Structure 1
């Protein structure tokens, strides 16, 4: 539930800052973007905590230390463990806008869902593949329930039994977007949950040293009762996910494979990372890797 609480916290902070900006004139938001760009002298796309405070203070805004902490955790350059903030993502969120990449991916996701009520749309989602479910933070059914509640609230003025509109779908995901520090992570979440064909990524013909079938066979030897190969692989990867984010570093993936009885070189691992879904730190999504290895084994 930590991620959901964090989203609620950052929404509260953004709402307060947004109201103050609008009271001073909405043009100040574009001025803030330009000021942050000037402060970003290294052109790295990030600002330190003190630099962020300086930018906001310049426009007459004086958030508390706790509020600055919420912003840094939500827009931090290393998913919560950094004192730097991705300032453009912050400014976009403050303006209520999605980045071009997120907006485009969201349109593809909406185009892939069936027309129908909130319940109909929710039934079509693969919420067991949502990052929170993959990491073991929540069950897939819990993520689905949160989606139903949030989307129903976004259907402002409409009955939840009416067809879900694009505006409601976008409104819901615009707030959820704040939980994903990078565009790639947000797009990967949409791809995993809604599986729109437009977001499908074609993989190279040779990947993972052509050892995919070997690993799949070893996974099959470890299945028990109702488990399938993907369940076994996800469990092994979670044990080596030191950051507990649903993403692993090359050496963590290599170690997990060795525990499963497969030796892979770092070159083979790095080739796989280059083709897969990664977070802002360059770590590989364990959900993506599990899908890649087990795609042909699960009906």
Structure 2
């Protein structure tokens, strides 16, 4: 329900936005909690030389491929807002960080609790094997009908949190926080956000 509200609210704000950055931010959020992560994956796939930078043309193509048609003027404004010292490109990690909603200390605290619960080894990374211990999908309809195995569904689930270029079946604390940035944006009340995370992960 919260994600559906986020999508509707973001679609409305996107329609009202005149600033290209705000329009892109709301467009990402209109795709759900992982909208910014999806844009990040797209940019990483485009970064063939692993330079971690985007040219103006790459940004234009990436944003268009993501589903948003910006004018050349909009792209110019976006690019100039991030380009520093006349560089040939912009750092897309910094660009994506600006798009992400900020998570305050209270919300980071409960997310850290949830991550610690999953990270049973304490090494700062949640693996598929660790997730299996805390998150069961054996009663999922697709598993019950024999349409998918528990392993397949868990791999899809853990992939939603990953923001790296390749899906490796591991989630870092940073990726965990980034995934929930969209949910955080949709909820004004800290206590309600905390209650959702605690309920979701049985804290």
Query: What TM-score comes out, normalization by structure 1 length?
Result: 0.27
Higher relative contact order (CA 8 A, sep 6+): 2
Larger Rg: 1
